[in-house]
Amino acid sequence: MQEYGELLPPERLLLGPGPANVDPRVLRSLSLPVVGYTDPFLYGVLDDIQELLRYVFQTSNRLTLPVSGTGSAGMEMAVHNLVEEGDEVVVGIAGFFGDRIVQVIKRAGGKVIPVETEWGRALEAEKIEDALKNSNAEVIAVVHGETSTGVLQPLEKIAKIAKEYDALLLVDAVTTLGGSEIKVDGLGIDACYSCSQKCLGCTPGLAPVTFSKKAYDKIANRKKELRSWYLDVRLVEKYWSGDRVYHHTPPVSMLYALREALRIIREEGIEDRWRRHETTGRALIRGLEALGMALLVEDEEIRLPQLTTVLIPNGLDDAATRKELLERYGIEIGGGLGPFKGKVWRIGLMGYNANVKNVLHLLSALEKILKKHGFPVKNGEAVKAASEYLESR
């Protein structure tokens, strides 16, 4: 008979596109006693989470809660609740996850009006306006931080266009929430979704979402009932609201963890947290450049601080090098997606991991690997460049 020993996962430094390592406080919260889904104690936890999420989203939206599922569940909830069969939606496609929104809209029965740009570049707001003008679309969908390319999409002009044309603005903030400035109310975003395991600093399994009153009104006035019972936000909300109507059994331990992760963000201050991600991300870039490595995103203004895409130097095997980083140094970084598979690495500095120690550790490891493979790297130059940048900040 097969015997199963104690589970002992290896310790890794997760510097890929997510998940990231989490604060020990968050891990400890996962071991707290589980209570039932009607326990008054849990209701208090739900209330805390909603208030803390409003702070992180920078919104006063009443309908703000975490979906039981990953970031993709958040995407599904936002799209399927807002898009009915035959609805036209203008979708900005600048990478892998813009295309995923397209797939979800099509499954919801919507008609996609695509606005595309080359991977590694930002969408042009003028093209989105043209698409909106020449369609019957009532929704614009864009990705704020495109995880496949490392582009931080400017939202101000797109948000202004949405307001001018009375369209709903749906934003994917899976990689940016808690790590880059995003003010839902300030920009006039109508629906926004994220995930728990990246810049929020929690473990995977929850997807925070928020809907404006305008978005909720559209949902409430749907012509047909939502096909998905599980992701019907009107049903889910009844459990999270004062009514406490049972919908599904919530992942209690995950909710404890999310509350603790959000509490940590509140203690740090959201603006300071944005600044920390910006600083560590830019320091990493200075170090990579000192190693002679080129970045995929040429325009510094639209580089995503918490997710850097770097071109793999000629002569280095993608999978073999990442395996060496993992086995020799305990560091995980991500490979490329789509057309960038085998061509770029995706390096994440998210949440708890966005710190100076991790930047310097990774740069030191990469320096050793590059030297081993014959690249002309000067000892300590990468760490020096990153350190000098950090001192200047």
DSSP 263-314: HHHHHH-HHHHHHHHHHHHHHHHHHHHHTTPPBS---GGGB-TTEEEEEPPT
- Provide the pLDDT for residue 366: 97
Pull the structure tokens for residue 16: 């890929």
Distances (CA, A) of 216 to 23, 25, 210, 234, 239: 34, 35, 10, 9, 16
Which DSSP symbol is given to 353?
G
Asked whether residue 242 carries a pLDDT value surpassing 90, the answer given is no
Is there a shared CATH topology between the 24-267 domain and the 270-392 domain?
Answer: no
pLDDT digits (tens, 9 = 90+) for 272-312: 999 999 999 999 999 999 999 999 999 999 999 999 999 99
Give SS3 for 227: coil
Q: Which of 242 and 296 is assigned the larger pLDDT? A: 296
Asked whether residue 393 carries a pLDDT value surpassing 90, the answer given is no
Which single residue is written with the structure tokens 């929430």?
177
Superfamily of domain 270-392: Aspartate Aminotransferase, domain 1 (3.90.1150.10)
**In residues, how long is the chain?**
393
For the segment 235-264, the average pLDDT, to the nearest whole number, is 97
Q: Among residues of the chain, what percentage have pLDDT more than 70?
A: 100
Which DSSP symbol is given to 63?
E
- Provide the pLDDT for residue 26: 98
Asked whether residue 210 carries a pLDDT value surpassing 90, the answer given is yes
For 281, other C-beta atoms within 10 Å of its C-beta total 25
- Provide the pLDDT for residue 251: 98
- Provide the pLDDT for residue 330: 97
- Provide the pLDDT for residue 1: 84
> For residue 329, what pLDDT band results from cuts at 50, 70 and 90?
very high
pLDDT digits (tens, 9 = 90+) for 75-108: 999 999 999 999 999 999 999 999 999 999 999 9
Asked whether residue 69 carries a pLDDT value surpassing 90, the answer given is yes
Pull the structure tokens for residue 312: 């793999």
Closest CA to 208 of 350, 80, 94, 55: 55
Q: Are the C-beta atoms of residues 194 and 74 closer than 8 Å to each other?
A: yes
- Provide the pLDDT for residue 226: 95
Do the bridges between strand 139-143 and strand 168-172 make them parallel or antiparallel, or are there none, so unpaired? parallel
Interatomic CA distance for residues 239 and 245, integer angstroms: 5
Beta bridge mates, 347: 308
Q: Is the pTM of this model over 0.95?
A: yes
- Provide the pLDDT for residue 131: 98
Respond yes or no on whether the N-terminal peptide bond of residue 19 is cis (omega within 30° of 0).
Answer: yes
Interatomic CA distance for residues 265 and 51, integer angstroms: 13
For the segment 374-391, the average pLDDT, to the nearest whole number, is 94
- Provide the pLDDT for residue 175: 98
pLDDT digits (tens, 9 = 90+) for 165-204: 999 999 999 999 999 999 999 999 999 999 999 999 999 9
Where in the chain are the domains? 24-267, 270-392
- Provide the pLDDT for residue 119: 97
One CATH from 3.40.50.720, 3.20.20.70, 3.40.640.10, 3.30.360.10 for 24-267 = 3.40.640.10
- Provide the pLDDT for residue 262: 98
Of 36-50, 171-185, 347-361, 369-383, which range is least confident? Answer: 369-383
Asked whether residue 122 carries a pLDDT value surpassing 90, the answer given is yes
